[in-house]
Structure 1
């Protein structure tokens, strides 16, 4: 039968930046490598599977789009005589698909029930050619994310060089302040030669270049060993704290007697060192006894392919989707996916796709091309699923998670929680993040009059401090150096000690509204309720040159259950007198959100700065506070303690009561009274107001807003008060490397494997899934712990 749709006016080739989903189905992980191939819609370029689930037919029934291009790919048999070349620069090598695969295509029409339509008919030639030549969605996103365009900054554009010519006769082979002869940075303003920072790539350095920049206020320096005759080099601005480009580098170097044409590159660039470091941090799959981990396959044992520094995403997803609350929520029937126009842009669809991919067992099988490491080349792992659509969706518009750079796994966990909570949960489906939510009660007691105040914050994690007690034999060791395979530097602490510190008394500098004393308060945080699942971030960081650096402090955590009930708040006690609640008439002392404060402290920022940042950004969003901190690092009073206040009453005619903004929040499901209060608390910023509502569900005074309220009643406090509150370790995220923004993340999950009576620990190292070894050692250095209430 002839097709009547091949001349349709709607039929046109994809635009250059239009996503083309021709690798895997947008609603499951079936792909062009399956026996029946993948259908790409020739109108919207959605990818739909054609096998058992047949999401291509579902797409046609819902959209009415008739024409599809079926693409089927089979791997060629290639003889490998040489190993692949080692990666040496930050670039995407041309990888020709036709060199590795045989690809067949055919055009079908669902409406006309025509198959194998002549591809040279009607408008088909241009459309089919456009689909096959277009960058796949995952590659398109990869190219965007890898594009790091360094630009000149204001300091290099206004650079004024000293007129002294003394450097022209100086030796350029040694630091001016020590005897180091590598990692040397030349100040382009005055010609000072100083060594670089020691933490970059493990290269030696005493930070004399940085010390010179701090003392002289000179900003721009160039790394001598990175200069090439072609005119490229590492140029760094200490004032911007970033790598930049110097458009007049040749001229600026010539001023100091350096002819760029005569230079020879002798050292790695910063990018090359970063890549080499990440390659070195490849998590070994071989134990200390030389035993290779046994690969595992089957339901719940599917790995996630590394898309380029995406191990932080994989580790979080494996831990979350192994929990019953998330597994049950997103393991739905795949025959009727969510009714959305663009499945690749829908978080619900992509989470269901991920859950099915990890738990169905459909994609977990040995792949001959996925060989083990060099110590055990004959061990075969699985190919792993590529969560490209999920990564793009959750990172879209985010300054950090939209890039291909390594990111902090704990920060990503908090970001994902926020996205899931804000997404739609219809048809009686519950928000699974609720299983992590609980109430933390904070008690403040004036040291002078002894009056108290109790406040309750809703949280979905805790960040506990890990005390650093350096071993005497390592007192002179470099902070943060090495990793968990090196000699221990710090005393082992227990999880109980960390929890004791977290829930213990801490002095805070506040003025008492009752007696006016400036003596301060004792602050204590305890659990008012307990969650089903508890995420614990272990804070093991210190600031080195304003860079958060990890300290390898062992923390003892057992598999046996432990009772958190000892940390439950007892509430207002008999005889305690409450501080006056005068927040409606005058400002009161600012109390930072404990969860947000803990996250900022975990990054290594001083407490004074953290409180100022939270006060300035709405007291709920650590990310916004962190951005504020980076933009105010140079403020002369940034470290000066000040008395912060909150609770100012806003009049009805203030801009925070803007009807348009209230309407915006109403459209997000936030009732008018809450919207009005949230805008007042966040200086009228809509996005900060949204965060404020989610982080202050019980902190909305509606007495003066009853007329504008849409009802709904008070929200029930999350969590449970049931005792005993016994928790057991379920999974951990481990990290190798001195910084959370480099190195490598892996996940360990307790699973009940087939033919085994008791749960065993399983290692998820991106696409590699294997039996875990040395798990007790791994637990000591985990970055994030996931516990479940029994």
Structure 2
């Protein structure tokens, strides 16, 4: 037997609960499809590449991990037409799978001697073979996270919650009872009948005999896919509901038919895995786009993102954000990931700064912005980098961004900015790259009787502006057609005076006052969110009002005037002192007010949900519409009772009685909008959380930060040029599709580029017109 220089004590055989990374390199977007493949460490099960920066060698040198499974996917020759199906039919898609298109090639790589050993190999020690086989079989960490995210949306139904069982005679689990198929087998949980399923995505055969059994026995609604069974995954389907479901006490129900789920080994892809593959391969397009007329472009700064299922909201936000110069400077290093992010960073998948550097390298290096010649498409777009690790980390613990569902790109933008600031993820800069988005607004209240003025300065990084809505007509299809408006008209509405009744501390009586908001400073980059989401009969809908496309914008006329010579500053009063104890995100307040809520209601909703976003606050307000307390002026509770007052005491006591701490139970109810079931699931998924909720506007340095921004912007003009737009097509921000338009320098000339997931093309004039009706987040650069 040949002698191999392998330290067997360093080899760890992964089990079902182990994290195995085999989708891309921990520090780059090199994948198993690249010429060198991936080196999966047989000690820590992380993947590295021997690409341009040879991260395998670095990992080996720094940590002494020397044995790797080289994991490579090689293209098969294909002769058939690889067209997309015309219509998605759940569980019945016939499409080529990854296994149809690529062969898996494996070998053992010993980094300390730079030796490659063919695998499988009978001469290798048993432990190495066991580890290699387990890595090959393992569901990747990325895929597990995707499955977990999808499965969060799967709930029990009335049929799966009340199953009566009766075991049939001569039970067998090898083959369909009605045909010879021995894969894609489903067992009826009511009687144990075994039938094949429907034809599935990836060419999996099926004759629908499990469904036929349910039609013969209508009360036999729920079946389980045998090949998907393992200790942590199980496919359950209700034919009556025609949907995936959770089955309470599944392990106990399966034991009726002699199935011990703890001993089952998963042999087939689960429905969730098939659904993820289907969504990833589906050709997302903007309605009305004419991609054939657009020229694909490639190069540095022109890299697209592969859609992870419903991740276009994340991709479009990152494309525009990384086009801000400070973000490129902070997170792009031409020499790869900085050494200090590799040294002493044994879990880079848990480090947000590492993930930001990885995104920066992926977008700006140009290594991944090349035509994907593995496709059969006539026009060769990019393969696109997959931000799976970043998405998993940034969404962890968040009730919306942790799922695989479509989300609001603007909410994600504000959430990401907040997380970067809270975690002080500055990259290569001395200060946060988000500082280039910061500016100061001036909020002025003026008593019309005594000319007394209260002036407040608010540090923010975005403004939400109303849209002038003039209805032209309603089409036969019910679609509302609006008169075209401009960004200047929206800013004028935002900047216009608003009259209200005011208890003037100087007049000592209720007077009419005017409130006006304006700019106190002009940032290097200005982010504007036109308020397209409005309440129509208390239902959030998207108003498709065309905003004239213009690349220039002047803000000088919207600058605050300060305290004028005929005005005097009003004394501070106790009510405003209390109100100022909590700094709410002003963009959240503005959004909720534009939806029709008063400012006080908006504050009640935001406070009750931890100031984490617009939707949780909106949902909370809808659930508490009959609560008279939300009609009262918002007064910040004292620190001693602030959290307790924001949750239902009965719900809180129920969670405490289950054994959870009061602090953690309170947070669980807040982040899940008071929903007990969701709170319980959150508690089980976050056992190590400290229970602390930070309610702030992201400004940790308070007055000092405001002064710095004020000094840096002193004397700067308000002339801007549009450099990026996140666009959304669809009637709701939680469906439809997001793309990004970014102005890039192409061969020395500034041109508009459309980033439609992995499709990166020069934007022709007809495509740019889409910005007028679908522009959702605008980013302007100061001239």
Give the alignment's TM-score, normalised by structure 2: 0.72
Could you tell me whether the CA contact under 8 Å between 2:20 and 2:135 is conserved in 1?
yes
Could you tell me whether the CA contact under 8 Å between 2:36 and 2:72 is conserved in 1?
yes
Partner in structure 1 of residue 749 of structure 2 = 758
| 1:581-730 correspondence to structure 2 within 5 Å | 581-583=572-574, 587=578, 594-601=586-593, 609-614=601-606, 616=608, 621-623=611-613, 626-635=615-624, 637-638=626-627, 642-646=631-635, 690-692=694-696, 694-695=698-699, 697-698=701-702, 717=710, 720-730=713-723
Could you tell me whether the CA contact under 8 Å between 1:461 and 1:536 is conserved in 2?
yes
Q: Secondary structure at the match of 1:738?
A: coil
1:334 aligns with 2:336: yes
Partner in structure 2 of residue 570 of structure 1 = 561
Distance 1:355 1:585 in 2: 43
Partner in structure 2 of residue 186 of structure 1 = none
Deviation at 1:95, TM superposition (A): 7.6
Deviation at 1:492, TM superposition (A): 0.6
Partner in structure 2 of residue 744 of structure 1 = 737
Q: Secondary structure at the match of 1:25?
A: coil
Q: 1:352 aligns with which of 349, 357, 377?
A: 357
User: How many correspondences in the alignment?
Assistant: 629
Between stretches 723-732 and 16-25, larger displacement belongs to 16-25
Partner in structure 2 of residue 205 of structure 1 = none
Partner in structure 2 of residue 139 of structure 1 = 143
Distance 1:27 1:47 in 2: 9
Partner in structure 2 of residue 258 of structure 1 = none
Partner in structure 2 of residue 257 of structure 1 = none
Q: Secondary structure at the match of 1:769?
A: strand
Q: Where in structure 1 are there 5+ consecutive unaligned residues?
A: 159-226, 237-242, 248-271, 373-377, 482-487, 662-684, 701-711
Partner in structure 2 of residue 529 of structure 1 = 521
With over 3 angstroms needed to count, the CA separation of the structure-2 counterparts of 1:648 and 1:129, relative to structure 1, is: closer
| 1:212-611 correspondence to structure 2 within 5 Å | 231=221, 232=238, 282-283=285-286, 287=290, 292-332=293-333, 333-334=335-336, 336-337=338-339, 338=341, 339=343, 340-370=345-375, 378-423=378-423, 424-425=425-426, 428-471=429-472, 473-474=473-474, 478=478, 481=479, 489-519=481-511, 521-544=513-536, 546-559=538-551, 561-583=552-574, 587=578, 594-601=586-593, 609-611=601-603
Q: Where in structure 2 are there 5+ consecutive unaligned residues?
A: 163-216, 222-237, 249-274, 646-662, 664-688
Could you tell me whether the CA contact under 8 Å between 1:584 and 1:649 is conserved in 2?
no
With over 3 angstroms needed to count, the CA separation of the structure-2 counterparts of 1:525 and 1:100, relative to structure 1, is: same
Partner in structure 1 of residue 761 of structure 2 = 770
Between stretches 642-651 and 775-784, larger displacement belongs to 642-651
Partner in structure 2 of residue 58 of structure 1 = 58
Distance 2:3 2:716 in 1: 71
| 1:72-91 correspondence to structure 2 within 5 Å | 72-81=72-81, 83-85=83-85, 86-89=87-90
Deviation at 1:61, TM superposition (A): 2.1
Deviations 1:268-304 (A, max 9, x none): xxxx9xx99x9797225854xx962111111221111
Distance 1:725 1:641 in 2: 39
Deviation at 1:146, TM superposition (A): 1.7
Distance 2:465 2:576 in 1: 36
Deviation at 1:786, TM superposition (A): 0.8
Distance 1:585 1:386 in 2: 48
Partner in structure 2 of residue 47 of structure 1 = 47
Distance 2:556 2:576 in 1: 38
With over 3 angstroms needed to count, the CA separation of the structure-2 counterparts of 1:736 and 1:2, relative to structure 1, is: same
Deviations 1:556-576 (A, max 9, x none): 1312x3321221222222232
Q: Secondary structure at the match of 1:759?
A: strand
Q: Secondary structure at the match of 1:609?
A: helix
Deviation at 1:647, TM superposition (A): 6.4
Deviation at 1:726, TM superposition (A): 1.0
With over 3 angstroms needed to count, the CA separation of the structure-2 counterparts of 1:113 and 1:635, relative to structure 1, is: closer
Could you tell me whether the CA contact under 8 Å between 1:298 and 1:361 is conserved in 2?
yes
Deviation at 1:235, TM superposition (A): 7.9
Give the alignment's TM-score, normalised by structure 1: 0.71
